[in-house]
Chain A
Amino acid sequence: MLRASLRQVSAALKEGQVTPTELCQRCLSLIKSTKLLNAYITVAEETALKQAEESEKRYRRGQPLGILDGIPIAVKDNFNTAGIETTCASNMLKGYIPPYNATVVQKLQDQGAVLLGKTNLDEFAMGSGSTDGVFGPVRNPWSYSRQYKEKSVPKSDSEREEFKWVITGGSSGGSAAAVSSFTCFAALGSDTGGSTRNPAAHCGVVGLKPTYGLISRHGLIPLVNSMDVPGILTRCVDDAAVVLGSLAGHDPKDSTTIQDVFQPFELPSLPDVSKLCIGIPKEYNAPGLSSEILSVWSKAADLFKNAGAKVIEVSLPHTRYSIVCYHVLCTAEVASNMARFDGLEYGHRSDVNKSTESMYAATRREGFNDVVRGRILSGNYFLLKQNYENYFVKAQKVRRLIANDFVKVFGSGVDILLTPTTLKDAVPYMEFIKEDNRTRSTQDDILTQAANMAGLPAINVPTALSERGLPVGLQFIGRSFQEKQLLTVAKWFEKQVKFPMIQLEEVKGA
C-alpha cells in the first residue's frame, strides 16, 4: 500500500480499501523503522493522527475535500508550520515554533493532507548533500537497497557497511529520502540552485521545480528571494501534477506571484511527443560528467527521435558563467536575509550580554554553521559600496544573459530541453565530506542552477540505475509557466524508461 502512487492510494481511500488513520499509522511506523536515514527532524505524530482522524470522518460522510484528503505528506524544515518546530536544520532556530503556516502548507492542510513531519536539510538550505545540518546528514535510502548492495564491491574485509552509505544530494535530501523510502506520498522541498532536482535524481524520485512566481513563497524561509521556489517531490509525474494543482496560483501575501488565474490540469494518459522539438544543450556536457550519465542522456535523446520528435543540439553559451554569477547573487541575498537573525525577537540568543553588539556577534557565531557564516561574509563583501557595481550589478547583467540564452532557444522552435540532472550518481558520505560545501555546491549545481537564474520550470525524472545500482535521473527544462507541456513530456519519458522500484531492505547500521 505504501508503495502505491498518490493517486492510487487516494482512490483506495475513497473506496474505503484503507482508512486515513491506518495509512497514517503505517507511515509513522515506517518512519520509525527507517529512523537511521535521518530524513525527518520532527515527526508530528499527534497532530498527524488527529488530521487523519478528521479526514476519516469526512470520508465516512462521503465528503472528502479532494484528492489529497488523508494523504500523508512531509514538508522540508524550512517551511513555516504553525505549532510545529521549524528549524532549517540550524541552531539559530532550534526550538522555534512558528505562529503561522506557509501558504503552501496551509493549502495542503486545507485539502486535508496529513502532515507527518518536517524533513532534514542542509542548514538554511545551503548545500548539495543534505549533510551540513545540525541534526546530522540524511542517508540515501538506496544505500539500503538490494540493487545497491548487489553491486557494491567491498574494498576490504574490514570495510564496514557504515562507510558505504551514500548521500541523498541536497539540500532537500530529507524530503527526497522520505518519498523514496515510502514514508509519505509526496513531500515539499525548495529549489534555489537545484535543491529539489538534485536529491530527486540521487534518490530516484520525481523532483519538480515550478516556474518562479507560480507558487507562493510566503512562509518559505528564504535563501535567495529572487530564485527560491517551493519544490515538489513524488514517486511519479502524475502525482507531481496533482500536488502542483493544489499549490499553484496567486497569493496576495507574496508580491512575486503572478496574478493570472491558474488552471489545474490532468495529464493525458497517452502523451504524444511526436510533434515536439527537443533541444540538447551542448554546454551541459560539462566537465566531470560521468560517461555513464552521458550515455543515459544520449539514449534518452534517441528515444525521442524514435518516437518522431525533432531532436536538435542547441547552445546556451553563457552556461559556464552561471555558477560564479549564482555565487555572487546568492551570497549577497543570503547576507541580507540572514541579517534578521539577531537573537532579539525569536530563535537562539547568546548569553553574552556585555553590549548589544557583542550579543549579536555571539548569537550569530553560535547559531550559524561555517557554511552560512561564509556566505554572509562573502555576500557583505560583494554588497559594499565600492564592490557593488563590479560584483552584484555585473552578476545581474550576466544573469540577464543566461536568461536570454533560454529565451533565444525557446524562441527558435525548441519546446523542451533535455539535460542530465547531476554529473554522476550519489557518492558515499565519507567521500563527499572530503570536499568543503562550497566546492561541492560549485560542482553539483552546475546542471540545475541556470534554470533558477532564468526562473524556468524544470523536472528530474528517474531514468536508470547506474553501474553501482544507484539512481540516475535526467532533467527536462520548459518554457515559463508551461508546466503542463513540461509534465506531459516528463510523463511520456517516465513511461518509456520504466525506472525500477527500489527494493528497500532493512535500514539498519552494521
Chain B
Amino acid sequence: RLASPRPPPAITAPSGGAETRVVGLEIHAQISSNSKLFSGSQVQFAAPPNSLVSFFDASLPGTLPVLNRRCVEAAVMTGLALNCSINKKSLFDRKHYFYADLPAGYQITQQRVPIAVNGSLSYSLCIDNKMSQMVTKTVRIKQIQLEQDSGKSLHDDSRSQTLVDLNRAGVGLMEVVMEPDMCCGEEAAAAVRELQLILQTLGSSQAIMAEGQLRVDANVSVHHPGEPYGVRTEVKNINSIRFLAKAIDYEIQRQIEELENGGTILNETRAFDSKLGCTVPMRDKEGMQDYRFMPEPNLPPLILYDTKSLPANVNHQQVVNIDWIHERLPDLPSAKRAKLVELYGILPEHSFTLVNEDGLTEFFENVLKQTQMKPKKVIGWILNDLLSYLKQHSCTVKESPVSSVLLADLLNLLEKKEISASAAKQVFEELWKGEGKTPLEIVKEKQLQLIEDREELEQICQAVIDEHEKEVMAIKAGNQKIVNKLIGLVQRATQGRSNPVLVKQILEKKLSE
C-alpha cells in the first residue's frame, strides 16, 4: 500500500523565518448518541454530577462492555464522509493508566486496527483575509478510531482534593487523526471548522467545542527545509477554533525563537493559556508513559458488512452495512456550497458564509421563496445587513428578530421600487428592534415611500440645480461624474425618498435644456 505523497513544504507564514512549519491534529469528537459507547447510561451535557453512571461506567467488578450500534454507525458515516477506507474488521484494545477519572484503570480504544483509515478532508482559506480569493487545501486523515471518553476531574486546591464526576466516563468518542500537512494556525482552524460542519451535517457529533463535544490537540514542530522533521510538542487545553489558531501560531513562534537562540525543543505536552495567549509546559505528563496496550478480551472483533459480503440469513438488527449507510449520507457542506453556487449564481465565498452560519442557508432560501428579488441581490442583504446585525448583537440566526417573512416583505417593497435602497436600510434598522411592525407599517410611519409625484421631484431637482451653479457649470463643461453629487443632494433633500434613476433622468433633462 503506497502512502499518499507528502504535500510540498508550506508557504511561510507572515511572521517570516525560513523554517518549515509542521502542524498535525488529534481531534476527539463526542458521538451524538442516546447512550454511551459500551453501556446503556444516558449521554447528556451538564447533568447533576454522577447521575448518568451505570455499573459498567463505575467499573464495578464483573461488569462487561456491550458495543453500542449507533456509535459504530456514526464512525462509519464519518469515515465515509472523510473519504476513508472502512475496515471491515477492526479491534478493541485496553490502554492502561491510573487517573481518578478513569475508573477501570484503562480506556477501551482501537489501537491496533481502527474502524477507518486513509481519508482526506478538503478545506478552504481566504488569502489576505479578504473574502475575494479562496484557495482549497487538503489534509490527509490518518485514521478514525472509536474509544471511551473519561470522566471529569475538578481540582479543588484550597481543600487539597479532587472531585470526580463520572457522567462523561464511557461516552463514545471518535478520534480523528489529521496528518501533519498543515503549516499554521489558520489552516488548522479552517480544517477543524470544516470537520465541525461535516460532523454536524452528518449528525454523528454535535461538535460544539464549548460543550467539550469537540476537543483538539495540536502537534507542532519546525525544521529547516530539506532537513528532517524537528521535535514536536503537543498542545492541549484549546477551547475554541479561534484559540486553536492562536495557540498553534504562538507555539510555532516559540519554537522558532527557541531554536534561533540556540535552544532545543523538548518532546513535551504543553497547555494553552488563553488569558496569557501562550503555551506552558503541563506538569502531569512528565516522562514517557507505557500504556501497556492489550487486546480487550471481552469484545470480539468488530465485523462490518457491505451488500456483497452480507450473509443471507442474518438478523439486520445485528449487523452494520456500510453500503446502506453510504446510500443515506446527507449532502456534505462542500456539496451544499456547490449547489448553492449553481442554483443561485452566488459567489463561492458567499456559499461559505451561508453554510458556515447555522440556519443561514435556510433563512436565505426562505426569503427567496417569498420575494421576486434575484438571489444575487438578496445575498447582499443576507450577508451584509442581516449577518452583520446578528454578529453585532451576538445573535444566532434562530434568534433573529427579523424573520425571513419580514425581510422578504421589505425586499419586495424595494424591488417594486416603492422605497429606495437607503430607505430600505432604515426600515431594516427599525425591524431589528423587533416591535412587531411590518415593513409597510414602518414605511408609512416614517414616510419613507418614494416620491411618486414627478412634479414634486422636478421642483426639488430644480431647487438643487439652482443652489449649485458651480457644479452645474462643471457638468455642462463635460464632467458627467458630478451629476452623482447632485443626485446625492436630491436624495438628501428628499430624505432618501427619491428614486435615483428617475432623479438622474430629470436632472439630465434639465441640465440639457
Please give the residue numbers on chain A whose beta carbons come within 8 Å of chain B beta carbons, in ascending order: 79-80, 88, 93, 98-100, 102, 217-222, 224-226, 252-256, 259, 332-333, 335-336, 339-342, 344-346, 356-357, 360, 380, 383-385, 388, 392
Contacts and interface: CB of A to CB of B under 8 A. Distances in A.
Interface stretch (B293-301, B383-391, B452-460, B492-500): B293-301
B164 A346 contact: no
Contacts of B300: 255-256
B65 A339 contact: no
Contacts, number: 96
B298 A342 contact: no
A220 B62 contact: yes
Given A380-B292, A384-B290, A256 B62 contact: no
B105 interface: yes
Contacts of A253: 64, 66
A340 B105 contact: yes
Interface stretch (B52-60, B219-227, B336-344, B410-418): B52-60
B292 A383 contact: yes
A346 B60 contact: yes
Interface string B193-220: 0000000000000000000000000000
B67 interface: yes
Nearest to B57: A345
B45 interface: no
Interface stretch (B95-103, B136-144, B468-476): B95-103
B59 A356 contact: no
A221 B64 CA distance: 10
Contact of B66 (A80, A252, A333, A345): A252
B34 interface: no
A128 B100 CA distance: 34
B94 A80 contact: no
Question: Which of B55, B63, B67 has the most A CB atoms < 10 Å from its CB?
Answer: B63
Nearest to A101: B62
Contacts of B104: 339-340
Contact of A340 (B103, B162, B299): B103
Contacts of A345: 58-60, 103
A217 to B, nearest CB: 7
Given A383-B294, A384-B292, A385-B290, A342 B64 contact: no
Contact of A217 (B64, B94, B106, B299): B64
A218 B63 contact: yes
Contact of B294 (A254, A336, A342): A336
A222 B299 CA distance: 14
27 contacts: A79-B62, A100-B55, A218-B64, A219-B62, A219-B63, A225-B298, A254-B64, A255-B64, A255-B65, A255-B66, A255-B298, A255-B300, A256-B298, A259-B318, A333-B297, A336-B105, A340-B59, A340-B103, A340-B105, A342-B105, A346-B60, A380-B292, A383-B294, A384-B290, A385-B290, A385-B293, A392-B294
A35 B264 CA distance: 70
Question: Chain B interface mostly helix, strand, loop or mixed?
Answer: loop
Interface string B293-313: 110011110000000000000
A93 B61 contact: yes
Nearest to B299: A255
B64 A344 contact: no
Contact of B98 (A98, A226, A339): A339
Contact of A356 (B100, B105, B318): B100
Interface string B47-85: 000000001001111111111000000000000000000
The 4 A-B residue pairs with the shortest CB-CB distance in the complex, in nearest-first order: A339-B105, A383-B292, A225-B297, A226-B297
Contacts of A340: 59, 61, 103-105
B110 to A, nearest CB: 15
Contacts of B55: 99-100
A328 to B, nearest CB: 12
B36 to A, nearest CB: 14
Contact of A336 (B64, B96, B164, B290): B96
A85 to B, nearest CB: 13
A254 B100 CA distance: 26
A254 B297 CA distance: 11
Contacts of A93: 61
B67 to A, nearest CB: 7
Interface centre among B61, B66, B100 (most CB of A within 10 A): B61
A339 to B, nearest CB: 3
A385 B292 CA distance: 6
A221 B162 CA distance: 28
Given A256-B297, A256-B298, A340-B59, 9 more contacts: A80-B61, A100-B55, A221-B61, A255-B64, A255-B300, A333-B294, A336-B94, A340-B61, A383-B292
A478 to B, nearest CB: 23
Nearest to A345: B58
Contacts of A383: 96, 292-294
Nearest to A380: B292
Contacts of A224: 297
A340 B292 CA distance: 15
A464 to B, nearest CB: 38
Nearest to B296: A225
A392 B94 CA distance: 14
B19 to A, nearest CB: 32
A255 B67 contact: yes
A255 B60 CA distance: 17
A259 B299 CA distance: 14
Which of B94, B100, B293, B294 has the most C-beta atoms of chain A within 10 angstroms of its own C-beta? Answer: B294
Interface in B264-317: 290, 292-294, 297-300
Contacts of B292: 335-336, 380, 383-385, 388
A133 to B, nearest CB: 16
Given A255-B67, A333-B297, A388-B293, A221 B62 contact: yes
Nearest to B96: A339
B313 to A, nearest CB: 12
Nearest to A252: B66
- Identify the interface centre among B63, B64, B164, B300: most chain A CB within 10 Å of its CB: B64
Contacts of B162: 356
B90 to A, nearest CB: 15
Contacts of A336: 94, 96, 105-106, 292, 294
B297 A342 contact: no
Contact of B62 (A102, A333, A339, A392): A102
A256 B300 CA distance: 7
A222 B98 contact: no
Contact of A342 (B60, B98, B318): B98
Contacts of A346: 58, 60-61
